[in-house]
């Protein structure tokens, strides 16, 4: 079985199928073969169970090279090599084959876990008892230069048969140890691989489930937005009539109104307007959520906007005994923005500031130039990518009850109120800030809250300046 087609389960049971070169890496096998060959003074080759040569430490023998130049001797030597390769000794035994040159080959089987995983061939080596070139060789090759062959025999490896047999046994024992630790490493690796694969599969499954849940939530969110848009739209028409008719009643178009009637009709109109405000908010929110709100961007002046917002809110603030201050740090570039929507943002913030500040307090609306970092979003790790961009920074600061730190991001969620219990002193729906945030973001801006010293909240709105406006 090839490695490529193994399943993780097969990999866990490799003890039964591992090849020699899987159990002992090729490099270790090569250096082991080399050092045994050096120590024993005999050539060594290791073959896999499939006959592939895995390691070779057999320096060329001059005698053999010389004999190979004669056709008859070469044929005889090649026959010997083929028969050595086909030798298959019994388990734990060694087989010996003699060569026409007078040398010997010793073959030994390598076993692992009662399985043949390879073969070792030692030789050719020449026992010291061999005195002369075999006569068989002379018969085979009469043209042989006997003196030369004899002198080459004297430099050939002279090792006793017993030494080579012992060398083989040592090599076999060493390989056994190596294969055992190799098997351990292989199993550990396979188990690790299998567990990584399993974790990956589980992660994939979880990711799939999350994706399904996310798609479903997105669909629900879309349905909710559609529902809000439709209902708000349908409520607005009759409500406009209610407000219109109550105004006509108050103007006496349908005759004089007497006694408590004026007070009751006034309440109807006021509550109707409150409801209309809420419905408009819901419509805005659903348009912002679905991305269908279109901004009417145009060049606009910041000081005029700040002045206008302060003037609009001053009567309301005075009624509560509050002061509204403004501060604009010139020079300020013009903004390319939807003036009406930015006015809505600031009015909403000032309205909140007035609402949450007790009598005697101050609300300050200010604007100045600043440079802030714009990461694409929190935690994306793109710190190096962040560049500072010029912005006009609006601040609405009050001296009111302030907003605890843990609430400072939550207040931008739709319908969220810091103290949402029914005993809340202040009215409201919790929609205002979520609309404000989305309007700011649709201008590519940012909004956040800080604490005011010694008390109160500061809402900071940053609207990017177009480069062209900045240089003007
Ligand atoms: P609403 O004012 O209608 O409740 P908002 O979305 O405008 O809804 O505000 C959400 C909540 O944030 C408010 O209910 C209030 O608890 C808190 N909040 C907003 N502005 C201020 C402020 N200036 N000071 C203290 N709390 C504030």
Reported as a single tens digit per residue, the pLDDT across 384-421 is 556 788 999 999 999 999 999 999 999 999 888 887 65
Span from the CA of 5 to the centroid of ligand 1 (angstroms): 64
Provide the sign of the torsion angle of the four alpha carbons 127, 130, 136, 138, taken in this order: positive
**In a domain? residue 255:** yes
* Rounded distance between C-alpha atoms, residue 333 and residue 223, angstroms: 41
Q: Among 282, 324, 349, 352, which is best to mutate for testing ligand 1, by the most ligand atoms less than 8 A from CB?
A: 352
Q: Are residues 117 and 97 in the same domain?
A: yes
pLDDT at 9: 47
Q: Are residues 23 and 104 in the same domain?
A: yes
* Rounded distance between C-alpha atoms, residue 291 and residue 80, angstroms: 86
**In a domain? residue 204:** no
**In a domain? residue 226:** yes
- For position 420, which CATH number holds? 3.30.565.10
List pLDDT tens digits, range 73-113: 899 999 999 999 888 888 778 899 999 899 999 999 998 88
Provide the sign of the torsion angle of the four alpha carbons 418, 424, 425, 429, taken in this order: positive
Pocket lining: 449 vs ligand 1, CB cutoff 6 Å: no
Of 199, 225, 241, the residue at which a domain comes to its end is 199
Alpha carbon dihedral 164, 169, 174, 176, in 10-degree steps, equals 140
Please state, as a whole number, how many other Cβ atoms lie within 10 Å of the Cβ of residue 390: 17
Of 238, 261, 288, the residue at which a domain comes to its end is 288
Q: Are residues 255 and 390 in the same domain?
A: no
List pLDDT tens digits, range 322-351: 999 999 998 899 999 999 999 999 999 999
Q: Which atom of ligand 1 is nearest to the CA of 419?
A: 16
According to DSSP, the residues that pair with 122 across neighbouring strands are: 44, 106
Q: Are residues 158 and 65 in the same domain?
A: yes
Check if the beta carbon of residue 42 is closer than 8 Å to that of residue 159: yes
Split into its structural domains, the chain has a count of 3
Span from the CA of 83 to the centroid of ligand 1 (angstroms): 96
**In a domain? residue 454:** yes
Radius of gyration of the chain (CA): 47
* Rounded distance between C-alpha atoms, residue 167 and residue 163, angstroms: 6
- For position 91, which CATH number holds? 3.30.450
Q: Are residues 10 and 150 in the same domain?
A: yes
Q: Are residues 228 and 136 in the same domain?
A: no
Pocket lining: 352 vs ligand 1, CB cutoff 6 Å: yes
Using a cut of 0.75, tell me whether the model's pTM lies above it.
Answer: no
Pocket lining: 428 vs ligand 1, CB cutoff 6 Å: yes
Pocket lining: 455 vs ligand 1, CB cutoff 6 Å: no
> What is the domain range of residue 92?
3-199
**In a domain? residue 73:** yes
Q: Are residues 182 and 227 in the same domain?
A: no
Pocket lining: 417 vs ligand 1, CB cutoff 6 Å: yes
List pLDDT tens digits, range 13-27: 545 678 899 889 899
* Rounded distance between C-alpha atoms, residue 167 and residue 266, angstroms: 114
Pocket lining: 399 vs ligand 1, CB cutoff 6 Å: no
Nearest CA to ligand 1 atom 19: 352
User: Which tokens is 282 given?
Assistant: 């819901």
Of 219, 254, 288, the residue at which a domain comes to its end is 288
Q: Are residues 398 and 449 in the same domain?
A: yes
Q: Are residues 283 and 301 in the same domain?
A: no
């Amino acid at each position: 079985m090839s490695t490529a087609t193994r399943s993780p389960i097969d990999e866990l049971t490799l003890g039964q199928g591992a090849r020699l070169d899987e159990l002992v890496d090729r490099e270790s096998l090569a250096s082991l073969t080399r050092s045994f060959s050096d120590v024993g003074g005999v050539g060594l080759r290791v073959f896999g169970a499939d006959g592939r040569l895995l390691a070779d430490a057999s320096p060329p023998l001059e005698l053999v090279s010389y004999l190979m130049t004669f056709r008859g001797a070469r044929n005889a030597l090649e026959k010997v090599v083929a028969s050595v390769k086909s030798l298959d000794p019994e388990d734990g035994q060694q087989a010996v084959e003699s060569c026409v040159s007078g040398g010997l080959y010793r073959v030994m089987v390598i076993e692992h876990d009662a399985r043949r995983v390879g073969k070792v061939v030692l030789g050719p080596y020449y026992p010291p008892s061999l005195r002369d070139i075999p006569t068989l060789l002379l018969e085979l090759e009469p043209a042989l230069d006997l003196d030369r062959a004899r002198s080459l025999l004297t430099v050939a490896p002279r090792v006793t048969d017993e030494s080579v047999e012992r060398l083989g046994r040592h090599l076999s024992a060493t390989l056994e140890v190596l294969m055992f630790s190799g098997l351990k490493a292989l199993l550990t690796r396979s188990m690790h691989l299998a567990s990584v694969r399993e974790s990956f599969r589980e992660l994939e499954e979880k990711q799939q489930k999350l994706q399904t849940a996310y798609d479903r939530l997105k669909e629900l969110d879309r349905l909710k937005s559609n529902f809000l848009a439709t209902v708000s739209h349908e409520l607005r028409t009759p409500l406009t009539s209610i407000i219109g008719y109550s105004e006509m009643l108050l103007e006496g178009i349908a005759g004089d109104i007497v006694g408590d009637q004026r007070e009751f009709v006034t309440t109807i109109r006021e509550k109707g307007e409150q409801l209309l405000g809420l419905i408009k908010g819901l419509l805005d929110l659903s348009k912002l959520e679905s991305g269908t709100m279109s901004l009417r961007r145009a060049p606009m002046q910041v000081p005029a906007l700040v002045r206008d917002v302060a003037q609009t809110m001053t009567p309301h603030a005075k009624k509560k005994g509050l002061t509204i201050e403004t501060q604009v740090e010139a020079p300020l570039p013009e903004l390319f923005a939807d003036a009406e929507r930015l006015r809505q943002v600031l009015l909403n913030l000032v309205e909140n500031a007035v609402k949450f500040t007790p009598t005697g307090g101050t609300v300050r609306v200010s604007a100045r130039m600043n440079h802030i970092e714009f990461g694409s979003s929190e935690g994306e790790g793109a710190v190096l990518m962040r560049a500072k961009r010029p912005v006009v920074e609006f601040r609405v600061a009050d001296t009111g009850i302030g907003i605890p730190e843990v609430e400072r991001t939550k207040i931008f969620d739709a319908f969220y109120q810091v103290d949402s219990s029914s005993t809340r002193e202040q009215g409201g729906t919790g929609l205002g800030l979520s609309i404000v945030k989305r309007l700011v973001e649709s201008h590519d801006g940012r909004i956040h809250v800080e604490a005011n010293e010694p008390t109160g909240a500061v809402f900071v709105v940053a609207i990017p300046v177009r480069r062209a406006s900045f240089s003007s």
